[in-house]
Amino acid sequence: MKIKGTIGIIVIALLAVVLLNSVYILDETKQAIVTQFGKPVGEPRTDPGLNFKVPFLHKVQFFDKRYLEWDGDKNQVPTKDKKFIFVDTYARWEITNPLQFFIRLRDERSAQSRLDDILDGETRNAVASHDLLDLVRSSNRDPEITEEFMEEIEVLEDISVGRAMIEKIVLEKANERTADLGVRILDFRFKRMNYVDEVRDRVYDRMISERNRIADQFRSEGQGEARKIEGNKERDLAQIQSEAFKQAEEIKGRADAEATDIYASAYNKNRQSVELYRFLRTMESFEKAMDENTSLVLSSDSEFFRYLKKLN
């Protein structure tokens, strides 16, 4: 009885091992093919769920069903107009036929290497076949002018292809070359473009020179405006001073005329008052003209001497 129980346990264990080796579960993100001695057997499995295979003889190769990433190396490439630039690209791809994919590429690492050759090669061909202007622009829209000095910027040349169309060309050419690999490239984009160091330095120098030119233009316009304001100030100041002097002279004239009228009226009304006024004014003149150290020589008919004679 003990031997039979042991044999029963061994048989159950063997059956469990065989059963576990004959089933596999495929989830939603995977697709698979079954191989026997390294060769595919039957059709690819793409539906998720429980699947069966011959135990120990069949092996299951799983492949991703989701979109996969390809990131290209940054390469130095000459454009059609002989300008060297660094081009950095990326793409998205998927495995559309796992059986063909397994036969041609075996695994994703080989696929990435093959895509490097295809996409980098088509990128070089596309860049070398078009001018730099086509690679950095996608439309012929007019540049937006936000400042007055930008109105002097030269009108941009029209492009015949454009960046978006070049990306589409690379995508189509690459898919033609991957048609028998069981993969499809979904999207291709230029991630970044930049000049090589030597060309970039020249571009920066040109940008600095252009900005300095604009700054000099601003300074020149500012100095001209300052001189204009200064001239207007001097003109307005001279006009104000002239008008003020004119008004002051007119006021003085009117005051002198009024004083004369007052003097004449007073003279006509009271000759004694006028004579007193003249006497007082003469005395004031003496006080202002002479001091204790002053010697004065007067003729007999001098106005100063007239009142002194009357005193005698």
3 state SS of 178: coil
68-143+151-195: CATH number: 3.30.479.30
* Domain map (residue ranges) of the chain: 2-64, 68-143+151-195, 275-312
Residue 270's pLDDT is: 59
Alpha helical stretches, state H, the chain: 2-21, 98-104, 108-128, 132-136, 163-177, 197-269, 271-289, 303-311
Pairing of strands 183-195, 84-95: antiparallel
**Phi/psi at 30 (nearest 5 deg)?**
-125, 160
Measured CA to CA, the distance from residue 289 to residue 283 in angstroms comes to 10
Q: Residue by residue, what is the 3-state secondary structure of 135-162? A: HHCCCCCCCCCCCHHHHHCCCCCCCCCC
- Taking the alpha carbons of 50, 54, 58, 59 in that order, is the dihedral positive or negative? positive
SS3 category, 33: strand
Taking only the tens place, the pLDDT of each residue in 262-284 is 776 766 665 556 666 777 777 77
pLDDT of residue 24: 82
- The model's pLDDT over 120-173, given as tens digits with 9 standing for 90+, comes to 999 999 999 998 888 888 887 776 666 555 555 555 677 888 899 999 999 999
Model pTM score: 0.59
